[in-house]
Amino acid sequence: MTCVADDDIVKQVIGGNVNAFEYLLKKYQGHVMKIIRKHIPGSHADEAAQDVFVRAYQALPNYKKKDSFKPWLSVIAVRTCYDFWRKRYRSRERPMSELSDRHQDWLQQVLSDQSSLSYHDIVRKKEARELLDTALNQLSAEERIILELVHLEGLSGKEVSQLLGWSIANVKIRSYRARKKLHKILTPWIEETEGGRH
Amino acid sequence: MIQKKIKKLTSIFRQTYQLEGKTDAGDIRCAQVMDRIRSLGPLPSGADVFMWFEQVVWRLSPAALVLILVAAFCLTQLDILADHEVFSLFEDTEEITLAQLFVP
Q: Interface pTM (ipTM) of the complex?
A: 0.78
Which residues of chain A neighbour B43 with C-beta distances below 8 Å?
A: 13-14, 16, 57-58, 60-61
CB nearest B30 (choices: A26, A151, A152) = A26
Q: What is the pLDDT of residue A114?
A: 63
Question: Tens of pLDDT along A55-108?
Answer: 999 999 888 877 789 999 999 999 999 999 998 887 766 555 667 888 888 888
Closest CA to A56 of A12, A10, A7: A10
Interchain CB distance below 8 Å, B25 and A128: no
Q: Count of A–B CB contacts within 8 Å?
A: 117
Is residue A80 a contact partner of residue B28, using CB atoms and an 8 Å limit?
A: no
Q: Among all residues of chain B, which has the CA nearest to that of A184?
A: B6
Cα B7 to Cα A110, A152, A173, B13: the distances in Å are: 12, 13, 20, 10
Of A32, A132, A190, the CB nearest to B5: A190
Sign of the dihedral through C-alpha A163, A178, A147, A141 = negative
Q: How far apart are CA A93 and CA A116, in angstroms?
A: 37
Quickly count: other Cβ atoms within 10 Å of residue A92's Cβ.
10
| Closest CA of chain A from B49, distance in Å | 11
Residue A1, pLDDT > 50, answer no
Mean pLDDT of B85-103: 62
- Residue in A18, A129, A131 nearest the CB of B37: A18
Q: Is A182 helix (H, G, I), strand (E, B) or coil?
A: helix
Residue of A nearest to B34 (CA): A22
**Would you call A25 and B25 a contact, using CB atoms and an 8 Å cutoff?**
no
Q: Which of B2, B16, B37 sits opposite A132 (nearest CB)?
A: B16
| pLDDT-wise least confident of A3-12, A40-49, A136-145, A161-170 | A3-12
> B71 to chain A nearest CA, in Å?
36
pTM: 0.70
Q: Which of A136-145, A146-155, B73-82 has the lowest mean pLDDT?
A: B73-82
Candidates A47, A53, A136, A193: best to mutate against B (most CBs of B within 10 A) is: A53
